[in-house]
Structure 1
Amino acid sequence: MLPSHGRYAYSPIIGRPDYSWPGGKRLAVYIALNLEHFAFGEGLGAELAPGGPQPDVLNFAWRDYGNRVGAWRMLEVFDALKLPVSVLVNSEIYSYCPQLMDAFRARGDEVVGHGRTNAERQGVLPEAEERALIEEATAVIARHEGKRPDGWLGPWISESRVTPDLLQEAGYRYVLDWCADDQPIWLKTRAGRILAMPYPQEINDIPAIVARKIEGDAFADMIVDAFDEMRQQSQAQPLVFGIALHAYLVGHPHRLRHLRRALTHIAQSRDAIWLTHAGAIADHALSLPEGVVV
């Protein structure tokens, strides 16, 4: 037998209990905007070009463009199209550029925990240090937002063997790290369970643009094609379609123009879909009778 994570059992997407989203909708759609801050001269970070010796000014400044310019341009698009956003936030953002979080708070957007900074991975830490990281990031968000976040995405999708356990014990209701399904599913933990919400690694600008080196037009086409296909698939099963974005990537003008096109296509179908926050999708799944969510 191969080693197993032991978090969930295999369940094919066909043949599961059927349900619908609010209003009888079959496809739930959410936008996840990652707002990240990075250490200067050390630590991890996505690269526009291969980095040189530290301090790597080119790549640090490129990433910082997202907070200074890109996210504000994206806000204009979200406002124009009346799109809700789930903001996946490094807690260091609050000390670095609090005005950005003020703007999303004014829109009533959901805030999701995303560690302290994407200059680090949580999954390499000893359990006590990982617990402290989760507690620190949670406390910062709660202090500024007036309530703690319900959901968590690890920096770099980084998990240790005990991350779901620590999140459940810290009071989190859902985690976005596991991209194994198009429906919410349960993960077992040592003290109960936590909901794994679909979070895309395909319709995600980092794997697409940074890793695969495609450009904004192709990424926008991916969004449109996946959305249209999942609308058709959702006739058979209720599904979740997420879009994962980073302001330092798609906030640049040549990519933002194509992103606007893709988001406009989705917004034009708002009457046929449930356009909402990740947390609202999780809340609906958690409200369903026992056994409906696998």
Structure 2
Amino acid sequence: MDTVQRADPQLYDFKPYRARPKIVWPGGKQIAVWVAPNLEYYELDPPANPNRKSWTRPHPDVVGFSHRDHSNRVSHWRMAEVMTKYGFPGSVSLSVALCQHHPEVVADANRRGWEFFSHGIYNTRYTYGMDEAQERAIIEDSIRTVREATGQTIRGWLAPALTHTTRTLDLLAEYGLHYTCDLYHDDQPQPVKVKSGRLISIPYSLEVNDHYGFFVYNMSPRDYADALIRQYQRLASEGEQSGTVMCIPLHAYLIGQPHRIGPFAEVLKHIAADGRAWIARAGEIADHYYDHHYQEAVHGA
């Protein structure tokens, strides 16, 4: 038993799915749906991290860099126009260096009323091996840069390339951030254990992330669209008992390609017309959970 306890990182309590207090979304909706476009900047020849290579190919990787730069030159606009057409605001996982490299992209998202949270400075610089001062500097840089570029104060975090230290979640809470997208353990928001302050996890799916769909599972555009609809249908049905969350994580250079955008648009049209979805930003989901369900989840009262 002692060995089991030491192996558990104690990031959150274990609470079985069917034995929790009921979550009720605004308007009695059964599922909160949020879309998370990753607006990123990848460096052509990033500094080496001893724990992980930035590119699978040798540096400088012109192929990897230019493929991803399609997001900022072309496919962001294609993706964003479809989202706006069907009433889906973005909650942006932002490489904050994009504010300097391509401010036009950030300004467009801001004009559309999208929310920003941090995805680190560059998606080619990892948290692995950083000391506390370095990690604090990334958080402080993120807060400052997004505020200067958009007028918004970031409230959430998705670690750059999903890389962490053992102190990351505690630091996020210390700096007053409200939610993390870095825990993939649930289909509902959950309290996260931190040393001070408070923090919740908001579901951010790897399973229906377009990166996994197209790069890992080798799905066709139609297969990916079908997976999104099946994800939505199941979670919306379960949400009749207690409200669920569906995140659609996107990378414009993938979903915004001409041969993929059509099936994706059909997914958004389907969800918007279904009637069971609260189409929201991540911060709105966090606010509702804090206001109506957080105390009961933490204290059972």
Which TM-score tier does this pair reach, normalised by the shorter chain? Answer: over 0.9
* Structure 1 residue 11: Cα displacement: 0.6
Give the match for residue 76 of structure 1.
81
* Structure 1 residue 186: Cα displacement: 0.7
Give the match for residue 275 of structure 1.
279
Residue 239 in structure 1 maps to residue 240 in structure 2: no
Give the match for residue 25 of structure 2.
21
The separation in 2 between residues aligned to 1:17 and 1:100, in whole angstroms, is 41
Give the match for residue 200 of structure 1.
205
Give the match for residue 7 of structure 1.
11
The residue identity in structure 2 corresponding to 1:5 is P
The separation in 2 between residues aligned to 1:20 and 1:46, in whole angstroms, is 42
RMSD: 1.7
Seq. identity, %: 33
Give the match for residue 252 of structure 1.
257
5+ residue gaps in structure 1? none
Give the match for residue 230 of structure 2.
225
1:80-100 Cα deviation digits (max 9, x unpaired) = 212111111111111111111
Residue 38 in structure 1 maps to residue 42 in structure 2: yes
Cα 1:124/1:216, change in 2 over 3 Å: farther
The separation in 1 between residues aligned to 2:116 and 2:238, in whole angstroms, is 29
Residue 293 in structure 1 maps to residue 279 in structure 2: no
The residue identity in structure 1 corresponding to 2:287 is D
Match of 2:66 among 45, 61, 68: 61
TM-score relative to the length of structure 1: 0.94
1:25-51 Cα deviation digits (max 9, x unpaired) = 12111000000001112358987xx63
1:48-71 Cα deviation digits (max 9, x unpaired) = xx63x3221111100100111010
Q: Is the 8 A contact 2:107 2:150 kept in 1?
A: no
* Structure 1 residue 193: Cα displacement: 2.8
Cα 1:45/1:203, change in 2 over 3 Å: farther
* Structure 1 residue 200: Cα displacement: 0.6
The residue identity in structure 2 corresponding to 1:87 is V
Q: Is the 8 A contact 1:89 1:112 kept in 2?
A: yes
Secondary structure of 2:198's match?
A: strand
- Runs of 4+ with deviation above 4 angstroms: 43-47
Secondary structure of 1:268's match?
A: helix
The residue identity in structure 2 corresponding to 1:272 is R
Larger mean Cα displacement after TM superposition, 79-88 or 197-206 = 79-88
Q: 1:94-109, aligned counterparts within 5 Å?
A: 94-109=99-114
1:213-249 Cα deviation digits (max 9, x unpaired) = 2222211111011001111111111101110000111
Q: Is the 8 A contact 1:6 1:188 kept in 2?
A: yes
Secondary structure of 1:292's match?
A: helix
Cα 1:227/1:139, change in 2 over 3 Å: same
5+ residue gaps in structure 2? none
The residue identity in structure 2 corresponding to 1:149 is I
TM-score relative to the length of structure 2: 0.92
The separation in 2 between residues aligned to 1:189 and 1:221, in whole angstroms, is 38
